[in-house]
A and B are shown apart, each in its own frame.
Chain A
Amino acid sequence: MTRHLPAILFLLPLGLAICLPLIGIKHREWCRPLSIGVLAAMVPVSFANLVGVLQNGTIQYDFGGWAAPVGIEWVADGLASVMTVALSLVGLVCITFLSSVLFPYLGSRIVPFYTLVLLLIASLTGMVFAGDLFNLFVFLEVSALCAYALVGLAGGKALVAGFRYLILGTFGASLYLLGVGYLYAETGTLNMADLAQRVPSLVASKAFAVGVLFMFIGLGIKMALVPLHGWLPDAYTYAPDRVSPMLASLVTKVALYGWIRIMFWVLGAQAVVYQIRLLVLVGILGALAALVGAFLALSQVEIKRMFAYGGLSHIGLVLVGISLGNQTGFVGGVFYLLNDAVMQAGLFFWAGGIIHLYGVRNIEDLSRLHGGAGWMSVALVVLALSMIGIPPTGGFFGKWYIILGAVDSRNYLAIVSVLIATLLTLAYFIKLFERIFRDRSAPQPPLTREVPLAVRISLGATSVAVILLGVMSDHIIRFLLNTAVPPGL
């Protein structure tokens, strides 16, 4: 039974996504409880899968009974199982938030809306488990199509942002597919494990180098790595406030996970292309992303846009962590990835909450929160502590292990970039706090409004989660070191 858990985990949201349009014809009001129920059911299944993988080792799930490398295979190893646990937990909190009464009533559009959300979750699960480069492409595209549609749902400016996201995203996907084509032409296989065995004989091949380059540029566009991030700020700013937490916390992070998977499990940690170690290149790109993202966040006036740029810098930090070429750095990077998913979700919950509760979109209007929004302010403080990296939150320990790894490998560029990104993050959060707590020039009386239950739950859950991740970081890091470290590192 435990063998089939990866497939069950995927089929739960997919099955409901297929049934929902039929159920929605008669019982529109069932969409919400059914979707939340399925996401809640994914949590124990993903935990059971994790326990099963820990006890019985990696599950290689062959579809249709065709063994890899001929058939399509899913691989549920330690890292993938940890990622699905995080995915289902964050997904559950996000779907609780997006079904809050705070947001405008969707009417008949509620059915396609929940269908898209469930398809998004299903395809992200598929991306995490995919053991085949082409399968990864298919799920990447399904998740991207859902994301385009969800961004465009808000209408108005979001349509243009969504269209730009679609053009750039499709360009990225085509490049990825082209890279997969090159690799297939060169090796005759698409299976990741099979490909990994053939990689050492290919280091001198030009086609291989170009294919890898195309794949990484494609994935770089999908995960908004800094020079290729043009679509992200607009898309996440104008996306409906109820879905931007889900997009920001899950979509780019899972694309980043795909990058890690290909980088370490297919190419290997020691991969060298044209005398350049790939990890060094990734480290430089990551440092650039960490600094540029944080720097741009500092200069924003819109709250959601600021958080979107903050997310860009955190993707850079994860890349810095995994590029250090030792286990501490890699595990620090992966731990930071998990933290970042939670923090981004929390920050966008907060931004969506204050837009709908108090009508505050820009930082200068934040003074209206002064004195009247205890719940929201406390949640923001906790999340900000983690974003900046102050103990005892998870963000601190992620950065701590990344820096430990950097000290181990004497990579001073990495240390400097992490520290400067931290300072810049501190700076843009101080900008927020100054408006909320110190600005007394507010002309209007402070606003007090009851915070809806779903917003309380989701903000509370993310705030508690970042503290829990920090308090339990020692266990989690040791656990990741035992289960999720790639071969050859």
Chain B
Amino acid sequence: MFEMIGGWLQRPNYIAFVLLFLWGIYIMVTRYNLVKKLIGMYLMQTSVIFFLVTTSAKQGATVPILLSTTEIIQPEVYANPLPHVLTLTAIVVGVATLGVSLALADAIYKKYGSLDEEEILKRLE
């Protein structure tokens, strides 16, 4: 049991990811305010991005750029660049989603005069 927890504590970034992810879901589920829901959603998306970056983290690693063509390639000294590239795309996707969702929330507010989900559901009937 203690060994397991000890093993977890050696990877604090993964614990941070799990906390952020669950926190985001918690906000999405429990808050009635639509904008707060979006904050939770964005937190969850960001935590996944954080996870992708953290898989490529390495202590003492450097950027994967060759300084000369004669240099011997040593993969173990470089940080893996691919998760960063994925992250970039995922951030763009996240921003686009946030834009569409804020536009929808704004239209809902203009139509129903409220951002509170219960209030809106009451007016829907």
Contacts and interface: CB of A to CB of B under 8 A. Distances in A.
Interface of A: 134, 137-138, 141, 145, 148-149, 152, 155-157, 159-160, 162-163, 166-167, 170-171, 173-174, 177-178, 181, 184-185, 190
B48 A167 contact: no
18 contacts: A141-B96, A145-B97, A149-B103, A152-B103, A157-B124, A166-B97, A166-B100, A166-B104, A167-B37, A167-B101, A170-B41, A170-B97, A171-B41, A174-B44, A174-B48, A177-B52, A178-B51, A181-B55
A178 B104 contact: no
A177 B48 contact: yes
A125 B111 CA distance: 35
A177 B90 contact: yes
A287 to B, nearest CB: 29
B105 interface: yes
Contact of B55 (A138, A160, A185): A185
Given A163-B108, A174-B44, A141 B97 contact: yes
A152 B107 contact: yes
B107 A159 contact: yes
Interface in B78-107: 82-83, 86, 89-90, 93, 96-97, 100-101, 103-105, 107
B87 to A, nearest CB: 10
Contacts of B55: 181, 184-185
Given A138-B89, A141-B97, A145-B96, 11 more contacts: A134-B89, A157-B124, A160-B121, A166-B100, A167-B28, A170-B41, A170-B97, A174-B48, A181-B83, A184-B55, A190-B82
Contacts of B111: 155-156, 159
B54 to A, nearest CB: 10
A137 B48 CA distance: 13
B78 to A, nearest CB: 14
Of the listed residues A137, A155, A163, A178, the one surrounded by the most CB atoms of chain B closer than 10 A to its CB is: A163
Nearest to A177: B48
B91 to A, nearest CB: 11
A184 B28 contact: no
Contact of A149 (B37, B51, B100): B100
A190 B83 CA distance: 11
A156 B41 CA distance: 23
A368 B75 CA distance: 74
Contacts of B107: 152, 155, 159
Contacts of A166: 97, 100-101, 104
B104 A152 contact: yes
A170 B37 CA distance: 12
Contacts of B21: 178
Interface pairs A-B: 10 shortest CB-CB: A185-B55, A141-B93, A159-B108, A163-B104, A181-B52, A178-B48, A174-B48, A159-B107, A152-B104, A166-B101
Nearest to A165: B104
A174 B120 CA distance: 27
Contacts of A148: 100-101, 104
B105 A163 contact: yes
Nearest to A180: B86
Given A134-B86, A185-B55, A163 B101 contact: yes
Nearest to B120: A160
B43 to A, nearest CB: 10
Nearest to A189: B82
Contacts of B96: 141, 145
A163 B101 CA distance: 7
A167 B100 contact: no
Contact of A181 (B37, B45, B48, B93): B48
A137 B93 CA distance: 10
B97 to A, nearest CB: 5
A71 B27 CA distance: 38
A149 B89 CA distance: 20
Contacts of B105: 163
A160 B108 CA distance: 7
B124 A145 contact: no
B4 to A, nearest CB: 13
Nearest to A146: B100
A182 B41 CA distance: 20
A90 to B, nearest CB: 25
A130 to B, nearest CB: 13
A138 B93 contact: yes
A487 B44 CA distance: 37
A401 to B, nearest CB: 38
A170 B97 CA distance: 8
Interface string B104-125: 1101100100000000110010
A184 B83 contact: yes
Contacts of A177: 48, 52, 90
Contacts of A170: 41, 45, 97, 101
B44 A171 contact: yes
A149 B96 CA distance: 11
Contacts of B93: 137-138, 141, 173
Contacts of A163: 34, 101, 104-105, 108
